[in-house]
Amino acid sequence: MNNRYSRQELFSSIGKDGQQRISNKHVLIIGVGALGSGSAEALVRAGIGKLTIVDRDYVEWSNLQRQQLYSEEDAKNRLPKVIAAKNRLSAVNSSVAIEAIIADASVSELEDWAKNVDLIIDATDNFETRMIINDVSQMYSVPWIYGACVGSYGISYTIIPEKTPCLSCILETVPLGGLTCDTAGIISPAVNMVVSYQISEALKILVGDFESLRNKLVSFDLWKNQFSAIQVDKLKNEDCPSCGKERSYPYLSFENQTKTAVLCGRDSVQIRPSIPTVRDLEALEQLLAKQGGTVQRNPFLLSYSVPSHRLVLFKDGRVLVHGTKDISEAKALYHRFLG
């Protein structure tokens, strides 16, 4: 046990002092799918003091191709991801305190969790949660590391409150829709690459070496052999409502959140996006038809049926998720297929 971290301590940028700092830090990971499971294992092996992992989903067979913490037994038992992850992580390093939370990462929960952590790692599947993380990060001055991947593409960016542009500065508006792993697929090397970028930045923050942070938005496509690193310092906006001089933290307010409601007398949940939108039903039909479910479309709506559930999409952005009264489950299906 005494030489457990000896190779990491031999790395001069960490050393024994840096290792001690790592062992005193608390990291929050939102989502323990592909990125989250990879990041969690890397941090536990590195000797993080405490790790809090949050996810609302359970292990499925399709996860095993890229989500490295999970086994066939976990998929057979449909074990909640955070429980399966904690079991594996505790076996890897029993000295790390691991808190596993089965929950949907909403505003109130994220505000509560962020008060007691040193770093947040984004491993979510949707931009609404990322923008909430972004506002919470600015409110409580907690660094966070954005990461995403789909197909052979990946992207990562590190956000330090008061120093770097925030995600809102860069995106300006929340993108709605887009490709997901369930609609465009994914290869595991893309996951591993994003995890490498996120964890290397995380270690720099945890040991206090902020001067070595990348300070660029990195993206790549491994299949197309493309890579870019964009300097984004000039995008910091003094009028940004999330990190500017007069902050209102807009993504923490109710009007900017996706609205959900269980329909009275029906086994269904209605979901409305926070920003008014017009859906291209024809394009969605082509996208969803590749997933193996049943797609039907008329001029007014699109119906997409998968085992046990049916999603009905309207042009005005509303979605009815039939087959559940569980809002968390409905949102998981919504983000899985619609981004």
pLDDT at 155 over 70: yes
- Write out pLDDT tens, residues 172-197: 754 545 667 766 789 999 999 999 99
Q: What tens digit of pLDDT does each residue of 326-337 get? A: 888 888 888 888
Residue 67 pLDDT: 94
Q: What is the mean pLDDT of the chain?
A: 90
pLDDT at 24: 98
Residues labelled catalytic: 181
Give the pLDDT score at 176: 44
Beta-strand relationship, 259-262 and 268-272: antiparallel
- The answer to whether domain 6-252 has CATH 3.30.1280.10 is no
Q: Say if strands 144-150 and 119-122 run parallel, antiparallel, or are unpaired.
A: parallel
Residue range 295-304, pLDDT digits in tens = 998 887 898 9
Phi-psi region of 251 (alpha: psi -120 to 50; beta: other; left: phi over 0): alpha
pLDDT tens digits for range 157-171: 999 999 999 999 998
Q: How far is the C-alpha of 157 from the C-alpha of 133, rounded, in Å?
A: 13
Distance, CA of 148 to CA of 269 (rounded, Å) = 27
* pLDDT at residue 2, as a whole number: 73
Reported as a single tens digit per residue, the pLDDT across 250-270 is 989 866 667 777 776 678 888
Q: Could you please state the CATH topology (level 3) that the domain comprising 258-338 is classified under.
A: TATA-Binding Protein (3.30.310)
Q: C-alpha distances in angstroms, 64 versus 187, 188, 330? A: 12, 10, 22
What is the Cα–Cα distance from 233 to 164, expressed in whole angstroms? 6
Asked which of 3-7, 99-103, 105-109 is least confident by mean pLDDT, the reply is 105-109
Query: Model's pTM, two decimal places?
Result: 0.81
Nearest to 125 by CA among 78, 74, 81, 79: 81
Cβ neighbours of 257 (radius 10 Å): 17
Q: What are phi and psi of 20, to 5 degrees?
A: -65, -40
User: In the chain, at which residue ranges do the beta strands (DSSP E only) sit?
Assistant: 26-30, 50-55, 97-102, 119-122, 144-150, 153-159, 216-221, 226-231, 259-262, 268-272, 294-297, 301-306, 309-314, 319-322
Residue 16 in this model has a pLDDT that exceeds 80: yes
Give pLDDT, residue 179: 67
Query: What are 34-78's pLDDT values in tens digits?
Result: 999 999 999 999 999 999 999 988 898 989 999 999 999 999 988
Q: Tell me the chain's radius of gyration from C-alpha atoms.
A: 20
Q: Is the pLDDT of residue 146 over 60?
A: yes
- What is the residue-wise DSSP string for 221-279? ETTTTEEEEEE-GGG--TT-TTTSSS---GGGSGGGS-EEEEPTTSSEEEEE-SS----
Question: CA–CA separation, 124 vs 145, rounded Å?
Answer: 11
Distance of alpha carbon 319 from alpha carbon 335, whole angstroms: 11
Q: Is-contact 155 148, C-beta < 8 A?
A: yes
Longest dimension (CA), the chain: 67
| Confidence bin at 29 (pLDDT 50/70/90) | very high
Whole-number Å distance between alpha carbons of 118 and 7: 24
Extract the tokens encoding 284.
Answer: 């969605």
Summarize pLDDT for 212-250 with one digit per residue, the tens. Answer: 999 999 999 999 999 999 999 999 999 999 999 999 999
Q: Domain spans of the chain?
A: 6-252, 258-338
